[in-house]
């Protein structure tokens, strides 16, 4: 089947960048999205991206003109007084481990804006319980970590990326410790290394069951002390600011909405790092915080960035099932409480409600099987037995060990009348991590010049079809660090033109619509959001089929049209912005990309399980690629506002 690529220089550029001189161009076309699956194995993950990254002169940033660093900082500090336009050397979208680690490095050579949607600590990093995987034990090896990663990733991982991450991981851990991060140590004084599902060795560095929180604390403390880093809280990123330089798309900054003042703030930057996390809230039950609405992936897609492997949504097998708690929470949680993989790694056993152990029936690795296997096994038990949760029991372990390793989990359960040292924990799968995202090279570079990515928003090739436990923080640390030098090089060869801020139409606030209309739009948007999440869970969940995916495609298309029609009939303009509406357009955008990717993969691999294609097909051991949609026929969610 011929590749269907929407007209326009950006789309033609992508095809040339990824496929020039590399054989056939077989693709699965879905509406306005073309999903090629024909990249030859010898084409490395990063080389395909890098072909499109040439440094040419563009209108707003002028290469090869260097400024005195002190003078540049003084000028940019004066720009900060402008409430609606701000100028920085680097813009970082997201305040998790990837964004903060990158900011601390590039701040050595320029000014940095860290743009965060809520409070700086409100990120997926802060909710990461388990730890960071790294080869720090003499009996372990890089080769062993690589093998575990590739096996868990169902052999879809990029081997070069896997080697880089597993090799550089230990040094990134040492850097965190040097910055003040405190991890658990054993009685021998060495780091205590835990083991989790899919790992052949103990290699998980952790801070009890609150590792992400400790890493975030150490990084935020360092960021607050750095005079070159400016943190902008409660600034929701609306759209990347891009221009065309011939066939190249170039990123020049980002438009944001200050959700406290309800004003649009435009950031012009020489280099931009997208580190905005995942899209867990396309599903009703997720371990992700409220901010994880796929903003970065959707913005990048609208900015002509290539997206990859979005069908691989990881459902964590064990989120706390509130229905099974002795004392139910008074209010529904905004995000599910995670029961870390480390509980099973420490000997936790899964039972159905008749206290029958079931994992050995599904996989010889039992509870230590990779997450995709465990999640599908639990899902199968729930459907066969018509039950709403299963039980995870760690009570056979010494009480002191349980409380020292899992104090946060123990405290949360005890609040609801459950003592995990005596009773099993009710658990259920929940959307947890996007293995796909914005396609990145080995330096975090994308096909959009000046745009770099790191963390969950990126698809580096490390995770393949399923992420190995505790590889996410590791990947974020490694790629945040690797994106530093190319970002600095790009920054040094560019200078800010203050006139650039007037080159795009500015988003507008919908105040003119009046309180009653805005209240009705808000109510409608919340209803539509719940309906979208319900469709995704019912039809695009842990187990899928072509018929169910096609049903979801039809229903989501109808739902999006209904919502957009409602908005525009009530006076909403395409350039208007509001937090709920912009999150909704991002959720629609990400849901459609996940759905299109899932329909394109006619096999079962890793996290993508299809009942009508139940086996792995070696000929399809290739990444899924999503090209941008046509700006002519696309919906509001797929277009940049300034277009």
Residues serving a catalytic function are 371
Secondary-structure percent of the chain, ordered helix, strand, coil, rounded to 5: 40, 20, 45
CB contact burial 369-407 (16+ within 10 A = b; e otherwise): bbbbbbbbbbbebbeeeeeebbbbbbeebeeeebeebbe
Q: Are 28 and 35 in contact (CB under 8 A)?
A: yes
Q: How far apart are CA 504 and CA 381, in angstroms?
A: 53
CB-hemisphere CA count at 13 Å for 200? 14
| Chain mean position to CA 216 | 17
Q: Are 362 and 368 in contact (CB under 8 A)?
A: no
Which helix (H) or strand (E) covers residue 79, if one does? helix 69-79
| C-beta atoms surrounding 240 within 10 Å | 27
Strands 349-351 and 458-459: unpaired
Q: Torsions phi, psi of 597, nearest 5?
A: -65, -40
Structure tokens at 561: 């049209």
| C-beta atoms surrounding 584 within 10 Å | 24
DSSP per-residue letters across 473-538? HHHHHHHHHHTHHHHHHHHHT----GGGGGSSPPPB--GGG-HHHHHHHHHHHHHHHHHHHHHHHH
Burial category of 212 from C-beta neighbours within 10 Å (exposed 0-12, middle 13-18, buried 19 and up): buried
**CB contact set of 565 (below 8 Å; sequence gap of 6+):** none
| Chain mean position to CA 85 | 28
| Chain mean position to CA 417 | 34
Q: How far apart are the first and last CA of the chain?
A: 31
Q: How far apart are CA 335 and CA 444, in angstroms?
A: 29
């Amino acid at each position: 089947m011929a590749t269907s690529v929407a007209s326009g220089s950006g789309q033609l550029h992508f095809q040339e960048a990824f496929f020039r001189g590399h054989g056939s161009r077989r693709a699965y076309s879905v509406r306005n999205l073309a999903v090629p699956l024909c990249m030859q194995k010898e084409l490395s993950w990063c080389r395909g991206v890098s072909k499109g990254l040439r440094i040419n002169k563009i209108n707003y940033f002028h290469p090869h003109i260097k400024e005195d660093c002190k003078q540049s900082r003084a000028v940019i500090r004066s720009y900060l007084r402008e409430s609606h336009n701000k100028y920085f050397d680097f813009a970082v979208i997201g305040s998790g481990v990837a964004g903060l680690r990158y900011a601390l490095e590039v701040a050595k050579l320029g000014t940095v804006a860290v743009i965060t949607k809520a409070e700086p600590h409100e990120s997926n990093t802060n909710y990461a319980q388990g730890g960071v995987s790294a080869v720090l034990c003499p009996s372990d090896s890089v080769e062993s970590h690589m093998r575990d990663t590739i096996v868990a990733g169902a052999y879809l991982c990029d081997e070069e990326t896997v080697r880089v991450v597993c090799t550089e991981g230990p040094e990134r851990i040492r850097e965190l410790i040097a910055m003040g991060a405190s991890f658990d140590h054993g009685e021998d004084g060495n780091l205590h290394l835990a083991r989790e599902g899919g790992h052949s060795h103990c290699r998980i560095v952790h801070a009890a069951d609150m590792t992400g929180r400790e890493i975030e604390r150490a990084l935020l403390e360092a960021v607050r002390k750095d005079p070159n880093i400016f943190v902008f809280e409660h600034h929701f990123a609306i759209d990347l600011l891009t221009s065309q330089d011939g066939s190249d798309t170039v990123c020049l900054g980002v438009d944001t909405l200050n959700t406290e003042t309800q004003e649009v703030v435009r950031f012009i930057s020489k280099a931009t790092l997208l580190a905005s996390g995942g899209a867990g809230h396309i599903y009703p039950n997720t371990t992700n915080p409220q901010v994880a609405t796929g903003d970065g992936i959707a913005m990048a897609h609208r900015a002509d960035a290539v997206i990859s492997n979005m069908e691989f949504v990881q459902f964590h097998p064990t989120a706390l099932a509130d229905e099974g708690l002795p004392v139910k929470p008074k209010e529904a949680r905004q995000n599910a409480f995670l029961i870390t993989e480390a509980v099973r790694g420490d000997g936790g056993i899964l039972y159905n409600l008749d206290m029958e152990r079931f994992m050995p029936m599904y996989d010889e690795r039992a509870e230590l099987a990779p997450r995709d296997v465990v999640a599908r096994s639990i899902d199968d038990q729930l459907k066969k037995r018509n039950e709403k949760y299963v039980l995870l029991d760690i009570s056979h372990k010494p009480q002191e060990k349980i409380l020292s390793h899992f104090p946060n989990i123990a405290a949360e359960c005890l609040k609801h009348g459950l003592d995990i040292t005596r009773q099993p924990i009710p658990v259920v799968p929940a959307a947890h991590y996007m293995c796909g995202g914005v396609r990145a090279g080995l330096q975090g570079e994308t096909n959009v010049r000046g745009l770099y990515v790191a963390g969950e928003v990126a698809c580096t090739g490390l995770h393949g079809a399923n992420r190995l436990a505790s590889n996410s923080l590791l990947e974020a640390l490694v790629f945040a660090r690797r994106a530093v030098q190319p970002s600095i090089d790009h920054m040094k060869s560019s200078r800010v033109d203050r006139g650039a801020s007037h080159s795009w139409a500015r988003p507008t606030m919908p105040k003119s619509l009046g309180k009653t209309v805005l209240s009705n739009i808000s109510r409608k948007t919340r209803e539509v959001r719940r309906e979208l999440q319900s469709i995704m869970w019912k039809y695009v969940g842990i187990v899928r089929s072509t018929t169910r995916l096609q049903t979801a495609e039809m229903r989501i298309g109808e739902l999006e049209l209904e919502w957009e029609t409602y908005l525009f009939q009530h006076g909403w303009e395409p350039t208007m912005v509001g937090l709920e509406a912009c999150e909704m357009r991002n959720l629609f955008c990400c849901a459609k990309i996940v759905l299109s990717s899932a329909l394109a993969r006619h096999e079962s691999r890793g996290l993508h399980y299809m009942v009508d294609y139940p086996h792995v097909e070696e000929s399809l051991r290739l990444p899924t690629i999503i090209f941008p949609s046509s700006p002519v026929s696309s919906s509001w969610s797929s277009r940049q506002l300034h277009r």
